[in-house]
A and B are shown apart, each in its own frame.
Chain A
């Protein structure tokens, strides 16, 4: 079973700063089936990035995804107040174990 490890667990930054969130897989993720979601308190997750680097419709270009194999990164170039939330990575695999989520990174205001 593939395990996704996100780091750091909590990231404290100020608006305007750059955020770099990491997602590491225990085995290589095929076809870059790596997705990023944002979740705010009391809300459902919101799709940000899929295919490791494709921004979803309506997502600002300050969000970008990169990586392949076992190392993936979500970058927010200049933090806006509404970006402070929890971010999850997820991998899809057509196997009996199914999808896996990382444990999340909480991005908080410093």
Chain B
């Protein structure tokens, strides 16, 4: 069964950085891009970027460029999202999701989400 399992909740101070991990199960990690999406409390979904686990290539939404880095460890089938210079506006649930292409592009499945709280 394909699953994405994310790391636990984080509380961070403004100006610091956070790393969220996304461990994959049930498929060949390097065959599918991993995307990151976040959701602020009571708000909609916001796409952050993608990473190709095979070659490490990435693409980031303009809003996050310079602040986000997406990496991976292929030996353990895990993707990482690092976000720096945190502010209160970065308080959100962060999701990873696998990008599928065959038959039509979509994000499926999704991780369970990781709550990141930025507070002094």
Q: Using a CB–CB distance below 8 Å, which chain A residues touch chain B?
A: 32-33, 35, 37, 39, 44-47, 50-51, 54, 56, 88, 90, 92, 96-104
**In angstroms, how far is the closest chain B Cβ from the Cβ of A35?**
5
Highest count of chain B CB atoms <10 Å: which of A50, A88, A104: A50
B59–A98 CB distance below 8 A: yes
**In angstroms, how far is the closest chain A Cβ from the Cβ of B44?**
5
B35–A99 CB distance below 8 A: yes
A99 and B47 in contact, given A33-B105, A92-B105 (Cβ under 8 angstroms): yes
| CA–CA, A46 and B95, complex, Å | 12
B47–A35 CB distance below 8 A: no
B34-49 vs A, CB cutoff 8 Å, 1 = contact: the mask equals 0101000000111101
20 contacts between A and B (CB under 8 A): A32-B104, A35-B105, A39-B45, A44-B110, A44-B112, A45-B95, A46-B110, A47-B106, A47-B107, A50-B104, A51-B104, A51-B106, A96-B62, A98-B50, A98-B59, A98-B60, A101-B45, A103-B44, A104-B44, A104-B45
Number of interface residues of B (CB under 8 A): 25
B53 within 8 Å of A by Cβ?
no
* A97 partner residues in chain B, CB cutoff 8 A: 61-62
* A32 partner residues in chain B, CB cutoff 8 A: 104
* B108 partner residues in chain A, CB cutoff 8 A: 47, 50, 56
* A45 partner residues in chain B, CB cutoff 8 A: 37, 45, 95, 97, 107, 110
A100 and B106 in contact, given A44-B111, A44-B113, A45-B95 (Cβ under 8 angstroms): no
B44–A101 CB distance below 8 A: yes
**In angstroms, how far is the closest chain B Cβ from the Cβ of A71?**
18
* B45 partner residues in chain A, CB cutoff 8 A: 37, 39, 45, 88, 90, 101, 104
